[in-house]
Amino acid sequence: MNCTVYKDASGRLVAGIDKCPASSYLDLRDFLVSKYTMVASSDLTLGLDSKYQSYSVEEASVEIGWDNWGGFMVIAIDKLSEKLVLEISECLVEYE
């Protein structure tokens, strides 16, 4: 998959897959949650054009989401979480 890493308008590190269909969100999310043994720290938020949920792994916190503008995204909640987002970006490149 074509995963790009960038900073969003709020300065948070993002690993994203542009043009990822909404139907892939749950599979990608479940794959990452299982691989990194993540624990949900919020309920799933569903909108007409977006889906988001926050997760934690040890001291790192990320938001895993999808929207019709950016596609699938993993967003670092803080600076401590950036290393995890970079690891996830490498994993997403290899995901089929």
Task: Return d(Cα 75, Cα 4) in angstroms, integer.
Answer: 12
The pLDDT of residue 14 is 97
CATH number at residue 33: 3.30.160
In this predicted model, what pLDDT tens digit does every residue of 13-65 receive, in sequence order? Answer: 999 998 899 899 999 999 999 999 999 999 999 988 999 999 999 999 999 99
* Domains: count for the chain: 1
**pLDDT at 78 > cutoff 90:** yes
Helix, strand, coil tally for the chain in percent (to 5):
30, 35, 30
The pLDDT of residue 85 is 98
The pLDDT of residue 34 is 96
> pTM (2 decimals)?
0.93
- Summarize the confidence of residues 8-15 as an average pLDDT: 96
**Domain membership of residue 66 as a residue range:** 4-94
